[in-house]
Amino acid sequence: MYGDLGLKLVQHAKRTQSLPQLPPYQSDIVRSVTREVRDLDRDVTEILEPFNGHFDPAEEPATACSLLVHHLCMRRNKRCLLAYHRVRVEAIEEMCWSGSDLLEQVQASQNKVAEGGAGIGSAEGSGASSLSPEEEEYARQYGDLLAAYKGQWTDIDLTGSLEPPRDLFIDVRVLKDAGEIQTEYGAITLTKNSQFFVRQGDVERLIAQGFLQKLN
Amino acid sequence: MYIPRPLFSSAYAHLKAHAHSTNPSILLLCALDTDSLCAARILTHLLKQDYVPHKIHPVAGYQELENVNEALVKGNEELRFVICLGLGGLVDIAAFLDLNCGRGGEEGEEGGRAKVECWLVDGRRPWNLYNVFGVGGVKCFDDGDIEEELPRIGFGHTLLSYPSSKPLASSPPPVHSHSPPSSPSQQLPLPPPPERPPPSAKLLRRKLRRLRAKHESTVASYYTQGTWYGEPISGLLYSLASDLGREDNDLLWLAIVGLSSGEIIGRGITSGPPRKAGGLGWVSTTREDQIRGVLRDEVRRLNPPEAPPPGSSNVSGNSSSSLQTTARSPSDTAIRLSPEYRFMLIRHWSLYDSMLHSSFLGTKLHIWSETGRKRLHKLLAKMGFSLSQCKQSYTHMDMDLKRSLRERLEKYAPLYGLEGVVREGFVRCWGFRGCLSAADVAYVIGGLLEMGRRGSSSHTNSGSAITPISSSAGKAPEALVDPDPTNETRKEEARESESWIANFWAAYDALEDIEALKTALPTAMDLTRAILRTGTALIEKRQIRLLRSFRLAVVKEGPDVSTFAHPSALSKLALWLGEAILEQEKEHRKKRHLPLVVASLNERRGVYVVVGTTLGSRVDDEDATLEYRSGRNRFGMAFQEVAQSTNARIRIDAFEATVVEVKKEDLAGFLEGLSLKSVVE
């Protein structure tokens, strides 16, 4: 039926809103929906062909109705596509703002695939980037834009958390080796399996990137 | 150099003044045992209150200590203080850690950069005298032992370590023999003795030699006593906190847990008779009781008994004769004195199980045999407790029974030689979320450290129970010829220490999280069940062999092998077995008790973990000197000697001197070598 796939896409979008990460881009469905739209469009042109551009709806109400239905289906599909992409774009933008590195995630998942071995088919689906190439490009450019915007005010971290910190110092535990990081006052070597009591400001970024775990 | 008790607070002030205020310039190295864990908690509490950034790094063994040195100490210009909690007392720590901060300049940069200071807070004895009297930034926290006992030895030590005409021939400090022969542990930190023009007179030289000999023997006799334990370090740090006026219930609780944990793994404080208390007229028979007494006073001071409700902390009051299992109010987090039975986890188990698995009761009643179990049933019957009542969870037992438990137990216990089954303990409530006694917490934390969190235990368990091994001691490296197995073992070792570290953090978190403690209760129960099971099997099957100078038990099959691959789990088993044997021997009126060696197979790495224990650390001997010496474990030295004299592939990596690992194939040779050493006086 017309519109079924569109509905599926919207359901995906709805589900995406409550997920912590972005699920893989549904390129199959998107392609099917666009194909459907193209088919509908072809139908419409076929219907209109015999009239040679002089179609009067009042004379042929049946044809007019069929054209209307075709048109509405196309509009609906378009709305579904837009809705799906908007949800994803918003999620991508939010990721850019929260500072988590999209491209790094892609790399990490690719590594996982490499480790898992090529033989496993299921790993391929989950392991590949969850962004479509266009989305990746969008994310990159949006990130550049954001960086340029932030660059104007170097003393304010626009992407920082809006919640005021409750403590100046916090306990963090190192989940993976992060090497040496430079802070305002010197270097800290973050080695796995140790716990630090450090200034929150120094490590906020690393917490967001998942290197450190904050303890309450 | 050492810091006596009264100066703890000024040492802390010094630390505060010299620590970097925004960067972690303090490195806390923490051993993987409950006491050290508690101590780390106390110290970090203090540091946090002062906003001093710091870093905690758990360390499993000497090999890892070297890794830490490579990664975190060497050339780390930010570092000002290294604080070793529960490790390093036995070895010359300056040889392990590069305390001369900066780019390798030993002498050259003296003026430029401040040296790294290293604090040693360790309950293990004997102190390595280079730590105590050496020059450099090493400072030992002294619980009184050094001040009391060591000046004499120290004098000798200092004399000996000063340049003399002959280099030191003997008097090896308990250098732990560590695998890579190039390991710094063997080298003394002192510069090679520059030739001093010897006094020309022959007479003088002879005199000097005699003096030397005398001092050498003093020093040697200090080291050859064996190893033993001083005060729990959590107690030491608590006294630091109270010197600073910052003690509170949380810290006190940690100190109490630290003390209780020592009792569980048989770390009796055996550094000597009770100290003459300054001012306070304590009449206590052991050092442990004395510390207990101090803590009891602190509990009373910080938790004044509420006025209206009847007898809350009144020791023999009526209300306190039944165990407290619930808090009095939702916000009740007080610590209370309460009678404590020598059964573990009674508040969360059934009375029967708790009695059955207790090492105190079990060994006295000979629980491993059928008659022993009957004896337990009989005792319960005499007390008027029906088995069906006893087998349900304690909280659901009949109120009357609960109320009369103490009285009846005290009445009938002596018939079975169970004097002292009830004593004073500490219990703490966390609102209505739960009530745990200090000993219970110690059991749970111990269980977490040894077996890991329950959820992950199923598959990590087997691995989680093993120590990281650095490498085999002595001549081992050559023995491991082909590279592949070595790699494999190394990987296995790394995995093992990884899981231990994960356990450490689980325990660290649980120490202040009652919910986590409660979920970990079954772990502790599993561990005690495993001990009972394995111990019973060993005794029933008569698998404890009597060798020339010690007894030997080997765990190499059964469901619990993987559990006992962890040295401290194995120590608990050894303790249980030891007490059981002691009871048997007492019945046969034996006076001399051979020590016990327990070995357990670590299948994953193909090594045996070997633990040596002396029996009857708490035997009351008539002989005062024996009493003084009892509880000193001489296995540490014996292991060292065997490692040097045989070519068994051995690794001594654990901070515990009495734990070694021996290659599976070499166990026989190792034991043979060991049986020639005299571990008994």
Write out pLDDT tens, residues B371-386. 889 989 999 999 888 8
pLDDT tens digits for range B65-109: 888 888 888 777 778 889 999 888 888 888 888 876 544 434 434
User: Which residues, including other chains, have CB under 8 Å from residue A109's CB and lie 6 or more apart?
Assistant: A126, A127, A128, A129, A130
Token pair for B405: 């438990």
* A195 touching B (Cβ < 8 Å): yes
CA–CA dist A6, B13 (Å, integer):
70
* High-pLDDT (> 70) share of chain B, %: 78
Q: B245: how many CB neighbours lie within 10 A of its CB?
A: 7
Distance linking the first and last C-alpha atoms of chain A: 53
pLDDT for A126 equals 43
Instruction: Give yes or no for residue A83 having a pLDDT over 90.
Output: yes
pLDDT at B179 over 50: no
Q: Which pLDDT does position B635 carry in this prediction?
A: 83
pLDDT band of B161, cuts 50, 70, 90: low
**Are β-strands B81-85 and B124-125 bridged in parallel, bridged antiparallel, or unpaired?**
unpaired
Closest CA to B47 of B16, B84, B11: B16
pLDDT at A34 over 90: yes
Q: Chain B contact for A176, CB < 8 A?
A: no
pLDDT tens for B461-508 read 333 333 333 333 333 333 333 445 567 777 888 888 888 888 999 999
Interior CA angle at A93 toward A90 and A99, to 5°? 140
CA neighbor of A149 nearest in space, from A137, A183, A209, A141: A141
Per-residue pLDDT, B230: 84
Per the DSSP assignment, residues forming a β-bridge with B597 are B552, B612
* Topology, domain B2-189+211-228: Rossmann fold (3.40.50)
Candidate from A186, A191, A215 with C-beta closest to B23: A186
- CA-nearest of B567, B292, B258, B271 to B438 is B258
For position B276, what pLDDT does the model report? 53
Is B52's CB within 8 Å of A197's CB? yes
Supply the pLDDT for residue A105. Answer: 57
Q: Is the pLDDT of residue B412 over 60?
A: yes
Dihedral pair phi/psi, residue B637, rounded to 5°: -65, -45
List the beta bridge partners of residue B600: B555, B609
Q: What is the pLDDT of residue B623?
A: 39
Task: State yes or no: pLDDT of B193 exceeds 90.
Answer: no
For residue B370, what are the CA distances in angstroms to A203, B354, B375, B575? 61, 18, 9, 21
Q: How far apart are alpha carbons B117 and B15 in whole angstroms?
A: 9
What one-character DSSP code corresponds to residue B224? T
The answer to whether the Cβ–Cβ distance between A169 and B501 falls below 8 Å is no
User: What integer pLDDT is reported at residue A104 of this predicted model?
Assistant: 57
Percent of chain A residues past pLDDT 70, beyond the cut: 85
Neighbouring residues of A67: CB distance < 8 A, sequence distance ≥ 6: A44, A47, A48
| Contact of B611 with B571, CB cutoff 8 Å | yes
**Would you call B20 and A186 a contact, using CB atoms and an 8 Å cutoff?**
yes
Task: Assess whether pLDDT exceeds 50 at residue B351.
Answer: yes
The helix (H) or strand (E) run that includes residue B581 is helix B567-587
Given CB atoms, is A196 within the 8 Å cutoff of chain B? yes
Return the half-sphere exposure (C-beta side, CA atoms, 13 A cut-off) of residue B629. Answer: 15
Is B47 within 8 Å of A197 when comparing Cβ atoms? yes
**A213 interfacial to chain B (CB closer than 8 Å):** no
Residues 6+ apart with CB under 8 A from B262: B35, B123, B229, B232, B268, B269, B288
Partner residues linked to B660 by β-bridges = B610
Q: Please tell me whether the peptide bond between B172 and the residue prior to it is cis, using omega within 30 degrees of 0.
A: no
Tokens representing B568? 């401290």
B419-432: per-residue pLDDT in tens?
A: 878 888 898 988 88
pLDDT per residue as tens digits for the range B8-44:
999 999 999 888 888 888 999 999 989 999 999 999 9
Note the pLDDT tens digit of each residue in B624-664. Answer: 334 444 567 788 888 888 888 887 788 888 888 888 888 88
DSSP element (H, E) containing B442:
helix B438-451
Contact criterion met (CB below 8 Å) for B537 and B436: no
Q: Of all residues in chain B, what percent carry a pLDDT higher than 90? A: 11
Question: Smallest Cβ distance to B23: which of A168, A183, A195?
Answer: A183
Torsion of CA B486, B488, B491, B497, to 10 degrees: -80
Q: How far is CA B386 from the centre of its chain?
A: 39
Q: Of A168, A194, A215, which is closest to B57 when you measure between CB atoms?
A: A194
Enumerate the domain spans of chain B. Answer: 2-189+211-228, 467-487+528-676
What backbone torsions phi and psi does residue B459 show, to the nearest 5 degrees?
-105, -25
pLDDT over 80 (residue B113): no
Cβ-nearest to B22 among A185, A195, A215: A185
Section B287-311 average pLDDT:
77
pLDDT at B13: 92
- pLDDT above 80: residue A131: yes
ipTM of the prediction: 0.72
Question: Which residue of chain B is at minimal alpha-carbon distance from A183?
Answer: B23
Q: DSSP string covering chain A, please?
A: -TTHHHHHHHHHHHHHHT-SSPPPP-HHHHHHHHHHHHHHHHHHHHHHGGGTT---TTT-HHHHHHHHHHHHHHHHHHHHHHHHHHHHHHHHHHHHHHT--HHHHHHHHHHHHHHH-TT-HHHHHHHS-SS-HHHHHHHHHHHHHHHHHHHT-TTS-TTS-SSPPS-SEEEEEESS--EEEEETTEEEEE-TT-EEEEEHHHHHHHHHTTSEEEE-
Closest Cα partner for B37 from B232, B288, B248? B232
Segment (H or E) for B202:
helix B202-223
Helix (H, G, I), strand (E, B) or coil at B554: strand
- State how far the Cα of B75 lies from the Cα of B79, in Å rounded to an integer: 9
Given CB atoms, is A182 within the 8 Å cutoff of chain B? no
The chain-wide mean pLDDT, for chain B, equals: 77
Which tokens belong to B64?
Answer: 């890892």
Which residue out of B54, B65, B513 would a mutagenesis test of the A interface target, given it has the greatest number of A Cβ atoms within 10 Å?
Answer: B54
pLDDT at B35: 92
Q: 3-class DSSP state for residue B189?
A: coil
pTM recorded for the entire structure: 0.76
The per-residue pLDDT for range B568-625, each reduced to its tens digit, is 889 889 888 888 888 888 888 777 778 888 999 988 888 899 988 876 544 444 333 3
* Digit-coded pLDDT (tens) for B195-215: 455 556 788 888 888 888 888
Structure confidence at residue A33 as a pLDDT band (50, 70, 90): very high
For residue B63, the model assigns a pLDDT of 86
Q: Which helix (H) or strand (E) holds B54?
A: strand B54-59
* Chains A & B: contacts with CB separation below 8 Å: 62
Question: What integer is the mean pLDDT of B452-469?
Answer: 43
From chain B, the residues in CB contact with A183 under 8 A are 22-23
SS3 labels along A111-159? HHHHHHCCCCHHHHHHHCCCCCHHHHHHHHHHHHHHHHHHHCCCCCCCC
Give A212→chain B minimum CA distance, Å: 13
Q: At what angle do helices B567-587 and B438-451 cross, to 10 degrees?
A: 120
**Residue owning tokens 């129960």:** B525
Coil, helix or strand for B305? coil
State how beta strands B335-341 and B228-229 pair: unpaired
In angstroms, rounded to a whole number, what is the distance separating the alpha carbons of residues B76 and B114? Answer: 12
Q: Flag if B23 and A168 touch (Cβ within 8 Å).
A: no
Query: Is 90 exceeded by the pLDDT of residue A165?
Result: no
Element (H or E) spanning B259, and its range? helix B249-264
Residue B519: other Cβ atoms inside 10 A: 15
Give the residue on B whose Cα is nearest the Cα of A177: B71
Residue indicated by tokens 């479509």: A132
Query: Which pLDDT band, with edges at 50, 70 and 90, does A39 fall under?
Result: very high
Running DSSP on this structure, what letter comes out for residue B558? S
Give the model's pLDDT for residue B322. 67
Can you give the pLDDT at residue B114?
Answer: 59
Strand partners, B552: B545, B597
Query: For residue B342, what pLDDT is reported?
Result: 82
Report how far Cα B312 is from the mean position of its chain's Cα atoms: 33
Q: Which residues of chain A lie closer than 8 angstroms to B55, CB-CB?
A: 194-197
Query: Which residue among A189, A191, A197 sits closest to B48, beta carbon to beta carbon?
Result: A197
